């Protein structure tokens, strides 16, 4: 099976799942069932007396495979509003969807396979019985899900399924998923004391604990060093702004559903900052600019707030407050290629530091049919900027795929897809072109002939947000962070109380050199101290015992490489400082 067929196969299996459920549980209302990255799901409202659990999946899956034998062809027809509503008269969820389709002026289509008909836009297997191996999919779990992801709506039952091109691919994925569960950033994050959530603070608003804060500060330090060398200028902006600025930028109304509701204040409306770019545009316009000032690179670790739906929040990966490794580059058209290429090269530099071996640039373009609706209505500039981005990717020999209809409203963009050490895919960073919003802010520079020109703007966030990137790193390393990034870098373990003085001396030396060190002076036995140190995932342990005191040294042990041997305090310090500086 070709990979491009998988989305259609997965969508077909969502239909097949609904068919099986409705057959086994009459009176159930099916709602929506899309394909997702690893398979499919479908949301149902079951009758009040039916509670579905994981144990029921075996029978549902068996029924699916029974139906699959007769699913040899999909047929579809366009129907009128009245015909569609008659067909789904007992299903309020489908009636709501039909009203939305009518409101958008779109066609209503019904797709049928076997004895099952659903409201659908299409995209299915042509011959499911022939194209879908019975052992290439399985139902995986049951979860609750609010209708349309809003906690104001009814809680439904979501049934998930996995689907791949073959049994081997399915087995490989399940093996990876078992490993992913061990590396789950929510589990390890709690064990390592990295972050927490609190109901009184609010869902999706993480509190960074000391260990997590230490890691965040190391990431910021890396970004600031890298950007300083590349002549970025750091700025700071407020956490909120007036409605007028977001109207000027176009985020209202294009982005309003993702912004928190406004606050009424002094006769006007203020919004929490959902993005840093409008503030940076105002900084650009605060002074007169010449072509001699360009490119101008403004960088900020800005805190932004997004109104994510409750049902979509997920640990650090989907939150309502995020600290973004953001920057905006204002440049001339002639400078664009070099600037855009430099941003992509920065990504690759970071990949080497973090040991990311597999990545791809997802180049998102616009849909000409949706100009003025989803995308700024300037077809000439869309073509020009998309051609410019495409050429940079080709010239740089960077692996990329092109995806239509997913650009930002103001220009084409690149989303950077990376794979963790266990093969799971993440979207981490972005690199976007903005040819529209600088005009709205009347941003200009004076060219070499004294004429006013509007700069291009590149939006970039190589490390994405602290939250998502931290979630990725926890899984990628399984919590075993490299020395420079580890929240606790060294554990000093005296064998007994007689060795406390030397342990404290070593602790103070490392601490005075900005190394994050902890010393275990408890009355626990030596074996327990070692076990606790390993649970902490500290990269290095320094053991102090009688043999060490006798020669004026200490024993250095690596979490990853085992015992290194006896070294002097100076030798240990030098080794650690070099490794931290080089970010090995």
In this prediction, residues 405-434 reach a mean pLDDT of 86
Q: Tell me if the bond preceding 577 is cis, omega within 30° of 0.
A: no
For residue 4, what pLDDT band results from cuts at 50, 70 and 90?
low
Question: Is the Cβ–Cβ distance between 20 and 60 less than 8 Å?
Answer: yes
What pLDDT, in 10s, does the model give residues 176-227? 888 988 999 999 999 999 999 999 999 999 999 999 999 999 999 999 999 9
Dihedral pair phi/psi, residue 95, rounded to 5°: -65, -40
What pLDDT, in 10s, does the model give residues 455-469? 999 999 999 999 999
For residue 396, what pLDDT band results from cuts at 50, 70 and 90?
confident
Q: How many CB atoms lie within 10 A of CB 581?
A: 9
The CATH homologous superfamily of the domain defined by 490-582: Anticodon-binding domain (3.40.50.800)
Dihedral pair phi/psi, residue 23, rounded to 5°: -70, -45
For residue 413, what pLDDT band results from cuts at 50, 70 and 90?
confident
Look at strands 35-36 and 75-79 and give their pairing: unpaired
Which of these ranges, 28-32, 192-196, 270-274, 527-531, has the smallest mean pLDDT?
Answer: 527-531
In this prediction, residues 231-246 reach a mean pLDDT of 96
Q: How many CB atoms lie within 10 A of CB 306?
A: 19
Rounded to the nearest angstrom, the gap between the alpha carbon of residue 157 and the centroid of all alpha carbons in its chain is 25
How many whole angstroms separate alpha carbon 378 and alpha carbon 385? 11
For residue 3, what pLDDT band results from cuts at 50, 70 and 90?
low
Which of these ranges, 83-97, 419-433, 478-492, has the smallest mean pLDDT?
Answer: 419-433
Q: How far is CA 167 from CA 137, 138, 203, 441, 544, in A?
A: 8, 10, 38, 55, 53
CATH of 3-182 given 3.30.70.260, 3.40.50.2300, 3.40.50.850, 3.30.980.10: 3.30.980.10
What pLDDT, in 10s, does the model give residues 284-299? 999 999 999 999 999 9
Which of these ranges, 163-172, 193-202, 397-406, has the smallest mean pLDDT?
Answer: 397-406
Q: If residue 112 lies in a helix (H) or strand (E), which one and from where to where?
A: strand 108-113
In the predicted model, what is the mean pLDDT of the chain?
A: 92
How many whole angstroms separate alpha carbon 196 and alpha carbon 1? 43
Which of these ranges, 56-70, 484-498, 527-541, has the smallest mean pLDDT?
Answer: 527-541
How many whole angstroms separate alpha carbon 44 and alpha carbon 147? 9
How many whole angstroms separate alpha carbon 27 and alpha carbon 47? 6
Q: Where are the domains of the chain?
A: 3-182, 209-477, 490-582
Q: Which residues, at least 6 apart from 278, have a Cβ–Cβ distance to it below 8 Å? A: 241, 245, 246, 248, 249, 251, 437, 441
Look at strands 39-45 and 35-36 and give their pairing: antiparallel
For residue 64, what pLDDT band results from cuts at 50, 70 and 90?
very high
Which of these ranges, 58-62, 275-279, 528-532, has the smallest mean pLDDT?
Answer: 528-532
Question: Is the Cβ–Cβ distance between 433 and 468 less than 8 Å?
Answer: no
User: Is residue 96 predicted with pLDDT exceeding 90?
Assistant: yes
Question: Is the Cβ–Cβ distance between 337 and 388 less than 8 Å?
Answer: yes
Residues forming a β-bridge with 408: 411
Q: Which residues, at least 6 apart from 120, have a Cβ–Cβ distance to it below 8 Å? A: 15, 76, 109, 110, 111
pLDDT at residue number 226: 96
What pLDDT, in 10s, does the model give residues 329-374? 999 989 998 999 999 899 989 999 999 999 999 998 888 878 777 7
How many whole angstroms separate alpha carbon 210 and alpha carbon 237? 25
DSSP codes of every residue in 555-584? EEEETTTEEEEEE-HHHHHHHHHHHHHHT-
In this prediction, residues 77-84 reach a mean pLDDT of 94
**DSSP 8-state symbol, 134:** T
pLDDT at residue number 1: 47
Q: If residue 390 lies in a helix (H) or strand (E), which one and from where to where?
A: helix 379-396
Fold of 209-477: BirA Bifunctional Protein; domain 2 (3.30.930)
Nearest-CA neighbor of 285 among 433, 408, 411, 439? 439
How many whole angstroms separate alpha carbon 13 and alpha carbon 113? 11
User: Is residue 242 predicted with pLDDT exceeding 60?
Assistant: yes
In this prediction, residues 420-426 reach a mean pLDDT of 87
Instruction: Please provide the distance, in angstroms rounded to a whole number, between the alpha carbons at the two ends of the chain.
Output: 41
DSSP codes of every residue in 322-355? EEEEEEEEEE-TTTHHHHHHHHHHHHHHHHHHHT
For residue 72, what pLDDT band results from cuts at 50, 70 and 90?
very high
How many whole angstroms separate alpha carbon 32 and alpha carbon 91? 12
């Amino acid at each position: 099976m070709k990979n491009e067929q998988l989305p259609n196969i997965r969508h077909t299996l969502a239909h097949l799942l609904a068919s099986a459920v409705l057959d086994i549980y009459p009176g159930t209302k099916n709602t929506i069932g899309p394909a997702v990255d690893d398979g499919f799901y479908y949301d149902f409202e079951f009758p009040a007396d039916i509670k579905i659990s994981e144990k029921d999946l075996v029978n549902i899956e068996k029924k699916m495979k029974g139906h699959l034998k007769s699913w040899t062809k999909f047929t579809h027809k366009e129907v009128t509003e009245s015909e569609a509503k008659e067909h789904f008269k007992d299903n309020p969820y489908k009636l709501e969807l039909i009203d939305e389709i009518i409101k958008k002026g779109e066609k209503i289509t019904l797709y049928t396979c076997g004895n099952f008909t659903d409201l659908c836009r299409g995209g299915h297997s042509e011959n499911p019985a022939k194209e879908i191996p019975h052992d290439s999919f399985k139902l995986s779990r049951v979860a609750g899900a609010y209708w349309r992801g809003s906690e104001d709506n009814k809680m439904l039952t979501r049934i998930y399924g996995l689907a791949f091109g073959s049994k081997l691919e399915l087995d490989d994925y399940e093996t990876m998923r078992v490993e992913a569960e061990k590396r789950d950033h929510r589990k390890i994050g709690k064990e390592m004391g990295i972050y927490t959530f609190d109901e009184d603070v609010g869902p999706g608003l993480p509190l960074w604990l000391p260990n997590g804060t230490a890691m965040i500060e190391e990431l910021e330090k890396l970004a600031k060093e890298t950007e300083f060398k590349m002549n970025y200028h750091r700025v700071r902006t407020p956490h909120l702004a007036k409605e007028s600025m977001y109207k000027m930028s176009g985020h209202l109304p294009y982005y309003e559903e993702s912004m928190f509701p406004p606050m009424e204040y002094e006769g006007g409306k203020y919004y929490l900052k959902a993005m840093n770019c409008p503030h940076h545009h105002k900084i650009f316009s605060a002074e007169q600019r010449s072509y001699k000032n360009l490119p101008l690179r403004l960088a900020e670790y800005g805190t932004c707030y997004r109104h994510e739906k409750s049902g979509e929040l997920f640990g650090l990966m989907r939150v309502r407050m995020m600290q973004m490794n953001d920057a905006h580059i204002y440049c001339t058209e002639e400078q664009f290629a070099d600037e855009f290429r430099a941003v992509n090269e920065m990504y690759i530099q970071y990949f080497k530091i973090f040991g990311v071996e597999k990545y791809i640039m997802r180049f998102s373009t616009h849909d000409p049919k949706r100009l003025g609706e989803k995308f700024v209505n300037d077809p000439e500039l869309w073509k020009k900027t998309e051609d410019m981005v495409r050429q940079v990717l080709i010239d740089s020999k960077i692996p990329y795929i092109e995806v239509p209809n997913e650009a930002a409203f103001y220009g084409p963009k690149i989303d950077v897809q990376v794979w963790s050490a266990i093969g799971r895919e993440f979207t981490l960073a972005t690199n976007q072109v903005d040819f529209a919003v600088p005009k709205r802010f009347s941003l200009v520079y004076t060219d070499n002939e004294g004429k006013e020109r509007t700069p291009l703007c590149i939006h970039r966030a190589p490390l994405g947000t602290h939250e998502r990137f931290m979630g990725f790193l926890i899984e990628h390393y399984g919590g075993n962070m490299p020395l420079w990034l580890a929240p606790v870098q060294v554990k000093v373990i005296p064998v007994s109380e007689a060795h406390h003085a030397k342990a404290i001396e070593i602790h103070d030396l490392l601490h005075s050199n900005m190394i994050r060190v902890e010393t275990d002076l408890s009355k626990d036995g030596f074996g327990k101290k070692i076990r606790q140190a390993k649970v902490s995932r500290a990269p290095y342990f320094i053991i102090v015992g009688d043999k060490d005191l006798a020669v004026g040294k200490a024993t250095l042990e690596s979490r990853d490489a085992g015992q290194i041997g006896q070294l002097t305090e100076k030798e240990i310090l030098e080794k650690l400082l070099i490794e931290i500086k080089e970010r090995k």
